Structure 1
Amino acid sequence: MQKPDSLIFDMDGTLWDAVATYAVSWNEVFKELDIDITVDKDKLAHMVGWEGKKVIKEIMPDFDDERRTEIYATVNSARHNLIPQLGGIMYDGVIDGLKELSTKYKIFILSNCAKGIIQLFIDWAGLHEYITDELAYGINFMPKSHNIKLLSDKWDLMSPVYIGDTEGDGQQSRLAGIPFVFVSYGFGNTDDYDLKFDNFSDLTKHFMGLE
């Protein structure tokens, strides 16, 4: 694998774990709407990285697409209030690592989350000056492979890599034609990767050491 000119990061399971906050957002909305559904944090963790349409179908199988979409919009509005309050758990080494990596690479965040959630994460973590750009599934409802290409075209990236924690991240990287870097501490597992790291500090050391 050649030295990259940019690092595109997944968010949930790669940079932080906010599943507890996401679960609160679902459960608060279901309570307000008097819907007899409770979202379990552990069950939700298995859905991290899924596209929104698949998540809402899994959580609300008895609703039609229109109602699911309406409820999901309400849930994401709730998250805009909850994330600044509750945040999430940053993985060890992420903040210092991104600061260091940004001195050598363009840094991007690309996630299957709703519109606005990545920016809330950046605000909460205080990462503005280190992130070149971000793109969420909720902007255009397109898969990561498509959005990787959009970022690459927008910023004239010649050799980006995608860094994530699930098999789906790897599949989308392959579809986009770029290398996949797997972090094993997140929510998923896969044997299909170009590089693997068990912690963010080792990832940082590797990419900072490339000449």
Structure 2
Amino acid sequence: MDSLIFDLDGTIWDPIDTVLHAWNSCIRRHDRIKGELTRGDLEKTMGLQMPDICRKLFPDLSEDQRRYVISEFILSEKGWIEKQGGNLYPDVENVLIKLSKKYNLLIVSNCQDGYIESFYQFHNLDKYFIDYENPGRTGLSKGENIQLIMRRNNLSSPVYIGDTSGDLNAARYAGIPFVYATYGFGEVTEYDYVIKEFKDLLNLF
């Protein structure tokens, strides 16, 4: 094994409280959206791409209205994350320091363009990762982005670490082992390895 590719939400951090503030600040300006979102609403969408999230949360809006809402959400979310970040899981930076000395570390997340950059900016963790990718930049699925980042960095034997069935499917699509982070947002019944805390990666690898 030469590298570890990470999902972001539910694997490295929990951003929901920050994202919730950002999105609800936009929702208050829209008469067509009845009621603000709750943490539970967002937890149910973790792992989905933004268009799918908006279809799930706002089924009564037209596609044009959803596109407009998405553009507002992205701008608001980016600003909030840059100012207050999210909740890193325990021991994340200490574990990344140790892992980065042995392996190439990368991120592939189903987020919009600018989201990972905002995460890096607030938490100053970019120095541990050699590359990252997302559908906001490429328009590709998570599995395709994993393959893309593997080719771009000449990775021969990576694993993918995530917390949802979508992460499992992406790893299977890319043909690499999947590490299930049970502390995240999803429930997965099939995996190659499992961790109950982020620091378990040190014992696993």
- TM-score band, normalised by shorter chain: over 0.9
Deviates more, 1:38-47 or 1:151-160: 38-47
8 Å contact from structure 2 (residues 41, 57) kept in 1: no
What value does the CA root-mean-square deviation take over the aligned residues?
A: 1.1
The corresponding residue for 2:17 is 20
Q: Which residue pairs with 1:138 in the alignment? A: 136
Structure 2: tracts of 5 or more residues without a match: none
Partner-residue secondary structure (3-state), 1:108: strand
1:30 deviation in Å? 1.1
Residue range with higher mean Cα deviation, 151-160 or 121-130 = 121-130
Distance 1:141 1:173, change over 3 A: same
* Structure 1 residue 66, shift from structure 2 partner: 2.1
Q: Is the Cα contact below 8 Å between 2:51 and 2:70 reproduced in 1?
A: no
Aligned residues with identical type, % of pairs: 36
Structure 1 residues 90-136: Cα deviation after superposition (integer angstroms, max 9, x where no partner): 10111111111111111111101111101111121111211101111
Measure, in 2, the Cα distance between the counterparts of 1:163 and 1:66: 35
Task: Indicate if the aligned counterparts of 2:84 and 2:122 stay in contact, CA closer than 8 A.
Answer: no
Q: 1:102 aligns with which of 100, 103, 110?
A: 100
Quote the residue 1:33 is aligned against.
Answer: 30
SS in 2 for 1:32: coil
Distance apart, 1:167 and its partner CA: 1.2
Amino acid at match of 2:2: D
Paired residue type of 2:59: P
1:87 partnered with 2:52: no
Query: 1:67: Cα distance to partner?
Result: 1.8
2 CA distance for matches of 1:137 and 1:194? 25
Distance 1:21 1:37 in 2: 18
- Would you say 1:58 and 2:21 are equivalent positions? no
CA distance in 2, matches of 1:117, 1:8: 17
SS of the aligned residue for 1:84 comes to: helix
Deviation at 1:40, TM superposition (A): 1.0
Say which SS state the counterpart of residue 148 (structure 2) adopts: helix
How many pairs were matched up?
Answer: 204
In structure 1, runs of 5+ residues without a counterpart are: none
Q: Structure 1 residue runs of 4+, over 6 Å off?
A: none
Structure 2 CA distance, aligned partners of 1:129 and 1:53?
30
Amino acid at match of 1:52: M
TM-score by length of 1: 0.93
TM norm structure 2: 0.95
Alignment correspondent of 2:185: 187
Letter in 1 for 2:173: L
8 Å Cα contact 2:7-2:107 kept in structure 1 = yes
